[in-house]
Amino acid sequence: MSVLVTGGAGYIGSHMVWELLDQGEQVVVIDNLSTGFDWAVPKRAKLVVGDVGDKDLVRDLIAKEEVDAIIHFAGSVVVPESMDNPLKYYENNTAKSRDLLEVAVNSGIDKFIFSSTAAVYGAPLTSGPIREDAILNPMSPYGSSKLMSEIMVRDVAQA
């Protein structure tokens, strides 16, 4: 299987790339390197420096590399920054996720994993681990932008 990992030059994304390679998968990484590092991507993976919101680039990459699945880590993650610049987060985390989903659907990709955040739950009323069925109540544009993307992924999967 060929897997496209967005944000694969970041901390979590690069660890996923290593795991996929260890499992024998072919891996293609797309990352704009705004917070990731090219040296974090294993040499056995193909790194494409680009933006997940560039639909033509992603479409061509999926076709050329015969991508079967997408794991989406790319996004902005700093909560205080999201409070100061919410539009950046709605663009990078929500609008670009929508563009990526559109290309995935139009390319016939039926395996799509989205990396979200506990910030979609806001401040939980209980201590300890947050249950996945807890009330969704984001308290920052970061959490809201990720929740909007979760909703899009859900709706596309149901369609």
- Given 89, 90, 121, 142, which residue is catalytic? 142
**Nearest-CA neighbor of 81 among 90, 71, 73?**
90
Does the pTM surpass 0.85? The reply is: yes
Strands (E), the chain: 2-6, 26-31, 46-49, 69-72, 112-114
Whether the pLDDT of residue 18 is over 90: the answer is: yes
Q: What is the token pair recorded at 54? A: 């560039």
Bridge partners of residue 46, in order along the sequence: 28
Whether the pLDDT of residue 137 is over 90: the answer is: yes
Task: Determine whether 11 is an active site residue.
Answer: no
Q: Can you tell me the mean pLDDT for 32-61?
A: 97
Residue 96's pLDDT band (cuts 50, 70, 90): very high
CA distance 50 to 58: 9
Q: What is the pLDDT of residue 39?
A: 98
**Cα torsion angle, 142, 10, 70, 121, sign:** negative
Region of 18 please: left (phi>0), alpha (psi -120 to 50) or beta.
alpha
Residue 102's pLDDT band (cuts 50, 70, 90): very high
Q: What is the token pair recorded at 158? A: 């149901």
CA distance 36 to 8: 8
